[in-house]
Amino acid sequence: MHIPAAHAPILFFDSGLGGLTVLGPTRALLPTAPIVYAADYAGLPYGKKSNEELAARVPALLGRLVERYQPRLAVIACNTASTIALAHVRAALDLPIVGTVPAIKPAAELTRTGVIGVLGTEATVRQPYVDDLSARFANGKTVLRHGSPGLVTGAEAKLRGEPIDPAVVERAIAGLRDQPGGDRIDVIVLACTHFPLLHDELRAAAGPGIALIDGAAGIARRIAHLTEGQIWPDTMSPGIAVFTRSDDNPPPPLAALAPYGIGAIETI
């Protein structure tokens, strides 16, 4: 069995900054883990892309990143990329890959009304993967879905310290609530890693009596489990964030990433 060196990082991958919501709880469990956080700004937003495009783009880009940073494990911290490309990535790369899929199972355990809302990107909510999760874990329950690209833009803006339009958040919640049966939703799955960045705004728009859940803590536990017994550095060192180059979308200021333990920005 291959034993990774202490300095071998965990690679996090997302289209943008949403994967930081998975990095946060992982850092809490593995505080000295070396981190590379990769954001495909040249491809953002993934929610607007076709399955074919993402099934080709994500494994190719991850392949480049793996070659460059030699991680011990890669986390696709993006529901859109995971629901479309996880199997392709696993087939193409020879290292453990952790994916991020909508937290429909815990939502089904939590709901009392039997009506669950799934808020994701437009690409995620149309995936057969979501049909499969609903059939396996929420059988007999109603799963309503809505895709909101505005929340992705809003989450990116918030992290940069820019204002967010409250109407965008209201519209996202209304997109679920206004569907038949939507008034009975008591659990909303945040099925895009960007959305927990807007937790407070979504909480306020959803109103009382609706739980918001996401899969980040479970993914962090999975990463800790898969790396159990491996060697880590004795002290924490700042992580690297790497962005694919985009003229329209330059990397955020380092200060926005510093709370997540990122100390340097690179572009590729």
Binding residues for ligand DGL, rule: CB under 6 A, are 14-16, 18, 44-47, 78-80, 121, 124, 152, 192-194
Q: Smallest distance from the beta carbon of 234 to ligand DGL, in angstroms?
A: 33
Which region, left, alpha or beta, applies to residue 208 given φ > 0 means left and ψ of -120 to 50 means alpha?
Answer: beta
Q: Is 175 a catalytic residue?
A: no
Sheet holding 187-190, edge to edge: 142-147, 115-120, 187-190, 211-213
Catalytic hit among 115, 192, 206, 242: 192
CA distance 46 to 87: 17
Q: Given the complex with ligand DGL, which of 54 and 116 has the nearer CB atom?
A: 54
89: helix, strand or coil = helix
Q: Given the complex with ligand DGL, which of 80 and 134 has the nearer CB atom?
A: 80
Q: Given the complex with ligand DGL, which of 154 and 239 has the nearer CB atom?
A: 154
Q: Given the complex with ligand DGL, which of 129 and 137 has the nearer CB atom?
A: 129
187: helix, strand or coil = strand
Crossing angle of the two packed helices 79-92 and 128-137, in degrees rounded to 10: 100
Q: Is 78 a catalytic residue?
A: yes
Q: Give the E-state strand segments of 40-138 in sequence order.
A: 73-76, 97-98, 115-120
Could you say which DSSP state residue 186 is in? Answer: -
Helices (H), 93-211: 104-110, 122-125, 128-137, 149-159, 166-177, 199-206
What phi, psi does 127 have (nearest 5°)? -75, 140
**Do residues 35 and 99 lie in contact, with contact meaning Cβ atoms separated by under 8 Å?**
no
Catalytic hit among 11, 61, 66, 78: 78
Q: Given the complex with ligand DGL, which of 18 and 239 has the nearer CB atom?
A: 18
Q: Smallest distance from the beta carbon of 76 to ligand DGL, in angstroms?
A: 9
Tokens coding 33: 């883990």
Q: Smallest distance from the beta carbon of 54 to ligand DGL, in angstroms?
A: 10
Q: Smallest distance from the beta carbon of 12 to ligand DGL, in angstroms?
A: 11
Q: Smallest distance from the beta carbon of 147 to ligand DGL, in angstroms?
A: 9
Residues serving a catalytic function are 78, 192
